[in-house]
Amino acid sequence: MSIDDNNNESENQTQAEEATPVNQTVEAAQNAAGNALSSILALKESNPKVFFGGVGAIVLVLMVLMMSGGSDPKLPVHQSKPISVGQSYVLKSPNTYDPSATIRMVAVPGSMAAYDDTEENDRDGSCKHLPQNTSVKLTQSQQDPSDKNVVWVEVEVTDAGECQGKRAWTSGINLQ
């Protein structure tokens, strides 16, 4: 018998010895799963209220876990740029991507939330809705008394046209 034959025999014995505990472990796991399944089915036959109550509790816990969790991403907040009286700006609404959208101009600061835009003459009134990118000059600004984060600005239209020289108020976020 050569050295190679002895090595091959010892390798074959080692593999056979290793396979036996793995097979026993797999069989033990299958037996445990079978025993658990049979005991659950026996519980269903002997006490269905407990069985279905347990199933309902498991479903309830899974639903709670699926509905909760996640992250709370921070909502984007408009960062207002510092504005100064006498500077020229353009009107641009940060709340729309529609280039044909207009910017509402009001006679009194803070009255924007109170206007009703259902009547046609309100939409077509003189210089109440200015198109985006209209050039304006800032004449004055004031903070909203109810919300310190809102700034109202009075602007004078500098674009040539029927609204040139007219003054009106709008929200400060509309200035770019």
* Mean pLDDT across 143-154: 83
pLDDT tens column, 106-119: 888 877 655 555 55
Which pTM does this prediction carry?
0.51
- Closest by CA position to 54, among listed 39, 68, 67: 39
Question: Per-residue pLDDT for 43 more than 60?
Answer: yes
Give pLDDT, residue 89: 92
* Mean pLDDT across 138-164: 87
Give pLDDT, residue 136: 94
pLDDT tens column, 85-113: 899 999 998 888 888 888 888 888 877 65
Domain annotation covers residue 74: no
pLDDT tens column, 116-143: 555 555 555 668 888 889 999 999 988 8
Residues 39, 95, single domain; the answer is no
Residue 42 structural domain: 3-67
Give pLDDT, residue 1: 52
Q: Give Cα separations from 142 to 110, 114, 146 (angstroms).
A: 10, 18, 12
- End residue of a domain, out of 37, 67, 97: 67
* Residue 77 CB-density burial (10 A; 0-12 exposed, 13-18 middle, 19+ buried): exposed
Question: Per-residue pLDDT for 41 more than 70?
Answer: yes
Question: Per-residue pLDDT for 10 more than 70?
Answer: no
Domain annotation covers residue 151: yes
Domain annotation covers residue 77: no
Share of the chain above pLDDT 90, in %: 19
